[in-house]
Amino acid sequence: MSTIAQVVSCLDGYDPNALRVDKAREAIRGCLSIIQETQTVPVREALGRVLAESIVPSINVPSHDNSAMDGYALRLADQTTYHEIGTALAGRPFAGKVGPGECVRVMTGAVMPQGTDTVVIQEAVRLDGKDVLIPRGQKAGQNVRYAGEDLKVGVPVLQPGAWLRPAELGLIASLGIPDVKVKRKLRVAFFSTGDELASIGAALKEGEVYDSNRYTLHGMLARLGVEISDLGVVRDDPLQLKKIFLKASESADVVITTGGVSVGEADFVKQLMAELGEVLFWKIAMRPGRPMAFGRIGDAFLFGLPGNPVAVMVTFYQFVRDALLHLSGRNDDYAIPLLKVKCSEALRKVPGRTEFQRGILTKANGEWSVRTTGQQGSGVLRSMSEANCFIVLEHERGKVAAGEMVSVQLMEGLA
């Protein structure tokens, strides 16, 4: 197996001191291997999981031709009056045969009675006792749902790697399948590093801050549906750090740390990580979130995120999320879509890095526009809370004038 350094160095334009966001994402993907273990779970529990088998229908859905409307089923011929001989409801078929000039009253979902091919909606007919008068202009085959029109016997409907959403649960249930094989959940462990960090519940001493990163990480990971292991706060102490890195990497697929990767502490943590496994330190051409470590200890992948609370969230959404979804084996395109909207204010920006400003997308007079949340410091977590989108200012882009179009990524629905 090639080392991370080998994989990454093959990338065109790789520069660890000013790595472009798209290059970093590509580099990380290139190093990951998709988890292989699977488990079988009841359909309901498969929500949000990744399918690990093909779903091939053993029945047609629907299983019979049936009526799409309330009306009259008949074999369409060149006549205007049909005699009603019975009724069919959903789940209660008409037992007899329908001959020429005859019709059966049908409700939506009723099996098409033998001898019929067309349904005329009830609003269109006139009744004269048991005679049903049909206006001209009906089309043979109208208002009929055919057997197998949704799902056909033998034609695969879901492939391994499918992300199971509510629609897929329903689809699987419509085939009568009670259990499905899915990839096992990813196990993600994380801890915060810093001598200044206090845990909630403890009194805050001078110079301390409460550890908020473990809570944003908890939230972001929980939404991704992974198994979470919160290992707490670790002091900037090599022995403690070493112990926890080893413990975390033994049981988790991915280990995420925050803090201690900026210059100063970095050299110290760097040494330790390099001793335990293979870790690359990157300066990413982005704001916020410049310093980041990526590597591997044993079988676990490691993300050393910056300490600043906004930088943690931005690097998580831009790199860790993508990596976790890739590892989980999803085969859909889960990249966060970029939408173009008008920016209602001027923004400062220099070419040469990607910026993720926190934005508020609103609609006024029928038109969507975005503005920033104001102060954009990477320690201002309030900016993430007030925002409903990232304003993504691309690598090459310079300053933005009020009224120009910018790219945004919606935060809601991000998982």
Name, in order, each residue with C-beta under 8 angstroms of 58's C-beta and a sequence gap of 6 or more: 153, 175
| Residue 197 contact partner, candidates Mg ion, ligand AMP, none, CB within 5 to 8 A by sort of partner | ligand AMP
| Residue 125 contact partner, candidates ligand AMP, Mg ion, none, CB within 5 to 8 A by sort of partner | none
| Residue 258 contact partner, candidates ligand AMP, Mg ion, none, CB within 5 to 8 A by sort of partner | ligand AMP
Q: To the nearest whole angstrom, how small is the minimum distance from the Cβ of residue 259 to Mg ion?
A: 4
- Which candidate, 286, 258, 270, 269, places its Cα nearest to that of 19? 286
Q: Which is nearer to ligand AMP, 311 or 387 (CB)?
A: 311
- Tell me the two tokens of residue 393: 């200012």
Residue pair 387/360 in contact by the 8 Å Cβ criterion: yes
- Which candidate, 242, 362, 360, 262, places its Cα nearest to that of 312? 262
Q: Which is nearer to Mg ion, 260 or 304 (CB)?
A: 260
Residues that bind ligand AMP (CB under 6 A): 192, 194, 196-197, 209, 211-213, 258-262, 265, 306-309, 379
Q: To the nearest whole angstrom, how small is the minimum distance from the Cβ of residue 259 to ligand AMP?
A: 3
Q: To the nearest whole angstrom, how small is the minimum distance from the Cβ of residue 232 to ligand AMP?
A: 11
Euclidean distance between CA atoms 205 and 152, whole angstroms = 66
Q: To the nearest whole angstrom, how small is the minimum distance from the Cβ of residue 333 to Mg ion?
A: 36
Q: Which is nearer to Mg ion, 71 or 259 (CB)?
A: 259
Q: Considering only residues 259, 304, 309, 329, which one is a binding residue for Mg ion as defined by CB under 5 A?
A: 259
Q: To the nearest whole angstrom, how small is the minimum distance from the Cβ of residue 269 to ligand AMP?
A: 9
Q: Which is nearer to Mg ion, 259 or 304 (CB)?
A: 259
Q: Which is nearer to ligand AMP, 258 or 328 (CB)?
A: 258
Q: Which is nearer to ligand AMP, 57 or 259 (CB)?
A: 259
Euclidean distance between CA atoms 390 and 410, whole angstroms = 7
Q: To the nearest whole angstrom, how small is the minimum distance from the Cβ of residue 21 to Mg ion?
A: 23
Q: To the nearest whole angstrom, how small is the minimum distance from the Cβ of residue 307 to Mg ion?
A: 5
Give me the 289-308 binding string for Mg ion, x by CB under 5 A, dash otherwise: ------------------x-
Residue nearest to ligand AMP (CB): 307
113 binds Mg ion (CB under 5 A): no
- Other Cβ atoms within 10 Å of 70 Cβ, number: 16
SS3 for 20-69, per residue?
A: CHHHHHHHHHHHCCCCCCEEEEEHHHHCCCEECCCECCCCCECCCCEECC
Q: To the nearest whole angstrom, how small is the minimum distance from the Cβ of residue 214 to ligand AMP?
A: 6
Q: To the nearest whole angstrom, how small is the minimum distance from the Cβ of residue 211 to ligand AMP?
A: 4
| Residues near Mg ion (CB under 5 A), total | 4
Q: Which is nearer to Mg ion, 216 or 407 (CB)?
A: 216
Q: Considering only residues 57, 113, 194, 309, which one is a binding residue for Mg ion as defined by CB under 5 A?
A: 194
Euclidean distance between CA atoms 158 and 219, whole angstroms = 29
Q: Which is nearer to ligand AMP, 155 or 222 (CB)?
A: 222
Q: Which is nearer to ligand AMP, 307 or 329 (CB)?
A: 307
Q: Considering only residues 57, 71, 113, 260, which one is a binding residue for Mg ion as defined by CB under 5 A?
A: 260
**Residues that bind Mg ion in the complex, under the rule CB under 5 A:** 194, 259-260, 307
